[in-house]
Every structure is written in C-alpha cells, then in structure tokens.
Chain A
C-alpha cells in the first residue's frame, strides 16, 4: 500500500519535474513564463500515437515526437513570443496562455476528442505495476542528469546559464539572448514531447491532458523556484508525493493540492523554496 503510494508519487513527481524543468529552462534563458508547456507534452503524446498507428517501431517514436514538438516550440517562439519581445512579462504570460489555448484546440480539431492508448514499451511487470511506470522514472532521472550536464559542460548550456544570470552581460561576451530564448523553447518543447510519448501508455494521450499537466508542472516550478533545476526537482517531488498521498486519503481533492501549495509559496517565499533567480 505504501509502496503503491511511493511509486505513484515518484511517477507523477518525475512527470511534473520534467514539465517544471521545461518551465525553468525557458524562464532561465528569457524570463518568460511559458504556460503552454503542458501542451508540448500533450502534442508529444498525440504525435507519438499517430506515429505508432503508422507502425513505426516503438523505440524510435519518442525521438521523432520530441523532435517534432521541439520544432513546434520554435514555431511558437518565432510567431508569438518574438513579435512581443518588448512587452511586459504579464503580457507575455497572457500570450502564452493564448498559445496554449490555440495548441489545445488545434490538437482537438486534428485528433478529435478521443483518448488514445499506446501499448506499453514492455510487457514486464514489477510488483504488479507495469514496467512503464518505472521506465518513466528512469528516463526522467536520465533526462535530468543529461540536462544538468548539458547546462554545466556544454557551451550552449553555459550560454543559457549566462543569460539567466545577466542578459546584458551575456550579450557583452557574445551570447545572444534571443538565440538562447529560441534554443530554450526548442529544448523545453522537445523535452515535453518526449515525456508525452512516454506517459501515453500509462496516462493516455488526448488533447486535454496538457492543461492539467501544465498547471501541476508550473506549480512545481514555482514551488522550487523558477529558473532553478534543483528547484524543479524538489517541486516535482513535493507535488508528486503530496498528490499520491492526497489521492489515497481524499481522492476528489487531489487536484487542488498543487495550486494551494503554489499559492502558499507565492505568499511566503515567492522566489521558491530553493530560490530561483529573479
């Protein structure tokens, strides 16, 4: 029983953490809060389903989906963010909300109001839970480590971190914040797309999962501190586990936990528990 809660909790924690990292990455590079992040996950799942239904091998689907959604992310940045680059942060938030509405409705038009399932990536079962659960957790840990290494060791990663510390200073040493913004959308969208495919066997793919995931992931990001990867991890774990516990105690109230936690943090410590940059 406790094992179930812990596994489910870590499950959700992984998913929310990846979404939260998507938020934090974009915020890091450009101070933009991209409320359409959840829709990238949604698109990943749906594109993954379509690829599956044309019989592509399962192990290649996540990569192609991720790539496709990454391109969508760049398109979003070019068409909706770049023209408004001088606008106030609040206007940009509203713009990303509008983008999420557009993505969601377009997906609903293209794929219809149905819920799709991809069969699992493997048929094993550990302790009576499908292996896909553990696959998600493992892939998330791998992704987080990869991103951490990317940000620390590669030139592109360090450029993004430079922008997050001081955009003008970064410009002075030859880093283009505009380019970094575009890259951050590319990476975050790709990340979201990948996780969307992975969760499709377990949590299904449909055009309305983006909203819920986006909100929870966003709450996780704010909880831990926007712009901070460790913060995203902490936030994801806190919300994931709280929801798992909450679901077993009073299941209909589970979805209110994340927003309440986020409100709590906004009042007490707006920079987040681990203190992202502002």
Chain B
C-alpha cells in the first residue's frame, strides 16, 4: 500500500522556497551554499540512476557537468548566444557526449568500467585545461552573461537559487518517476542479474546506454545552468576528479538505491563544508587549511561508508520484500547487507 507522500512533498517544497528568506532575514548567512546544493542535488540524483538503479559505476559524472558548463560558456563567449539558447545546447552536448562516452564504456565490466569513467573524467579535465584557445585554459572563461528573459535579468544569488531549485525539484520528480517506469524496472532487473534480464528479453546493453545518456544529459543541463549562475566565470579546477568523487560520496551517503536518499545526501554533503568552516573559524584557521580539513573529512566519510556497506556499490541489490527490512527513515534505502 503506497501512500503518496504528498504531505512530505509540500513540506519539502515549502522549506526549499523559504530558505532564501530564512538565510537572509533570520540567520543572515550567504545563500551560495544552498544554491550549490541545488546543483548537487541534480548531479547526485542523476548519478543514482546509473549507479543505484542500474548498478553501473560511474566515477566520472563531474565530467558531464563540466561539458555542459563549458559548452554553454563557449557558446556564450565565442558566439554571443544568450542563456536561453546556450542552456539547451549545453544539454544537447550532454546527450551527445553521454552517448559517445557511454557506448564504449558500458561494454566494460565491473571495475574496468569504474576505471574507464575515472579516466574519462581526468581526460576531460585535462582537455579543459589544455585547449586554451577554446576553453580559456587554466584561467577558464569569464564574462559569462546572466540569464535574461525580456526585461528581467537574473543576477543575484536569490534569483539563481529559485531557478536552480525549481529545476532540481523537477529533476527529483522526473527521476523518481523514471525509476518506477517500465524502463526503470528493466534497470532494476539488470542490476540484479544481467543474464536473467537478457533471458526475459531485456536488451541489457542498450538499456544501460539509455540511462547513462539520461543521467549525463541531466548533469550537462545542470552544468549549463551553472555557467550562467556562477558570477560569470568558470574554470577547470571546478570540474576536476574531486567533483566526481564528491558526487559519488553523496550517492553513497544517501543510500545508493534511493533517489530521495541521493537528494538528501547531496544536501548534507554540500552543506558539510559550511559546518566545517564555522568550526574552522572558531579555531582560527585560514581558508586553505579549512579546505584541506574538508577533504580529509570527506575522505574519512567515504571510507567509513564504503567499509560499512561491504558489498559496496557493486553488491547485488537486496529485494526489499525478501529481506522484509525497511529502515524507518524514509530516505534511506536498504542498500547495505
């Protein structure tokens, strides 16, 4: 008997809408972390489709974010296209590269797939750094325009926040719907047992490719949006391997099989640096030190989570009905054995 969680949705949406006002008027805190959280939600949720639903490890999801961002930025700076064109075009870049990368990569098995996606992320990052005529090299691109619609121009974090989060909520809704659709069921099937899935007529390879392309498209869309919401500049350092690892951490922390879990994981992990920064300020550390402490904490969190779900990402997904277990926190799947 599934209830519709409508009440939870309304509360959640109301909370999201209220956040900028709370940040500004009640606690007087910069809005940027909450804005970043919106992007991360889109990234983590789209990665969960590939990792949690289909069971394919992608350690290079950040690359698609970068591809979307750079495509939009290059179109904006070199061709002078406005945001409402660059964003769809950046998204299309995500579709194309998702297919070009996914098709060969998804033929590999288990850890070769993880390694290949990792190396793709590295190669893409190095490309952003190297091709300076196109991408501005290590300095990146700047003078990126804001999103304009008629007379309205979105230039403040406040307005960016709403645009990003409206899309983030749409993405959550879409991916949840997707995971319950017939394709989603095929993915769950092939996650459990690829050969059995083939036997019942599921085209395993193409289904994997489809979900990979869907997830890369969402990530590229988020990237293209990001290019216009990040103070007019992007640079390669934002799209390095650390980003992909962060996204995986969010998926892992949120309970790998759950869309909502990934969203929760994204929010928690992207707000964590803020908490650490407050603590760092308290101990009078400077900003670079705090960044390093951040990374250490991330590393430890990741290791701890990997150790305590020993079958890890590649473990077979437990059938909920067979185990009979359901965690009482609705956001956490029963991922670990």
- A154 located at the interface, meaning its Cβ lies under 8 Å from any Cβ of chain B in the complex: no
- A263 located at the interface, meaning its Cβ lies under 8 Å from any Cβ of chain B in the complex: yes
- A174 located at the interface, meaning its Cβ lies under 8 Å from any Cβ of chain B in the complex: no
- A140 located at the interface, meaning its Cβ lies under 8 Å from any Cβ of chain B in the complex: no
| A90, A98, A105, A259: the one within 8 Å of B126 (CB) | A259
Question: How far is B296's CA from A260's CA once the two chains are assembled, in angstroms?
Answer: 30
A94 B311 Cβ-Cβ under 8 A = no
Q: Given A86-B310, A91-B314, A99-B303, does the pair A259, B292 have CB atoms closer than 8 Å?
A: no
Q: Within the complex, what minimum Cβ distance (angstroms) separates A200 from chain B? A: 21
Task: Please give, as numbers and ranges, the residues of chain A lying within 8 Å of B296 by CB-CB distance.
Answer: 101-102, 105-106, 109
A270 B123 Cβ-Cβ under 8 A = no
B315 A84 Cβ-Cβ under 8 A = no
B303 A252 Cβ-Cβ under 8 A = no
- B35 located at the interface, meaning its Cβ lies under 8 Å from any Cβ of chain A in the complex: no
Q: Can you list, as one digit per residue, whether each of B86-126 has a CB less than 8 Å from chain A (1) or not (0)?
A: 00000000000000000010001011101110111011001
Q: Given A88-B110, A93-B115, A267-B104, does the pair A102, B126 have CB atoms closer than 8 Å?
A: no
Q: Can you list, as one digit per residue, whether each of B137-171 has a CB less than 8 Å from chain A (1) or not (0)?
A: 10000000000000000000000000000000000
Q: Given A88-B110, A109-B289, does the pair A259, B302 have CB atoms closer than 8 Å?
A: no
Question: How far is B214's CA from A182's CA once the two chains are assembled, in angstroms?
Answer: 42
| A90, A101, A211, A263: the one within 8 Å of B123 (CB) | A263
Size band of the A side of the interface?
Answer: 35 or more
A91 B119 Cβ-Cβ under 8 A = no
B302 A266 Cβ-Cβ under 8 A = no
Q: Within the complex, what minimum Cβ distance (angstroms) separates B212 from chain A? A: 16
What residue in chain A is nearest B244 (Cβ atoms)? A97
Q: Given A33-B115, A263-B119, A263-B123, does the pair A90, B314 have CB atoms closer than 8 Å?
A: yes
- Residue among B110, B114, B252, B292 with most chain A CB within 10 A: B292
Q: Within the complex, what minimum Cβ distance (angstroms) separates A128 from chain B? A: 29
Task: Please give, as numbers and ranges, the residues of chain A lying within 8 Å of B315 by CB-CB distance.
Answer: 88
Task: Please give, as numbers and ranges, the residues of chain B lying within 8 Å of A91 by CB-CB distance.
Answer: 306, 310-314
Task: Please give, as numbers and ranges, the residues of chain B lying within 8 Å of A109 by CB-CB distance.
Answer: 289, 292-293, 296
| A83, A90, A215: the one within 8 Å of B313 (CB) | A90
B299 A256 Cβ-Cβ under 8 A = no
Task: Please give, as numbers and ranges, the residues of chain B lying within 8 Å of A63 by CB-CB distance.
Answer: none
Task: Please give, as numbers and ranges, the residues of chain B lying within 8 Å of A205 by CB-CB distance.
Answer: none
Task: Please give, as numbers and ranges, the residues of chain A lying within 8 Å of B27 by CB-CB distance.
Answer: none
| B118, B131, B313: the one within 8 Å of A88 (CB) | B313
- Residue among B118, B131, B241, B306 with most chain A CB within 10 A: B306
14 A-B interface contacts by CB (under 8 A): A89-B314, A90-B313, A93-B111, A94-B245, A97-B241, A101-B242, A101-B296, A101-B298, A105-B295, A255-B130, A259-B120, A266-B112, A267-B116, A270-B112
Q: Which B residues lie at the A interface, using CB under 8 A?
A: 57, 59, 104, 108, 110-112, 114-116, 118-120, 122-123, 126-127, 129-132, 137, 241-242, 245, 248, 252, 288-289, 291-296, 298-300, 302-303, 306-307, 310-315
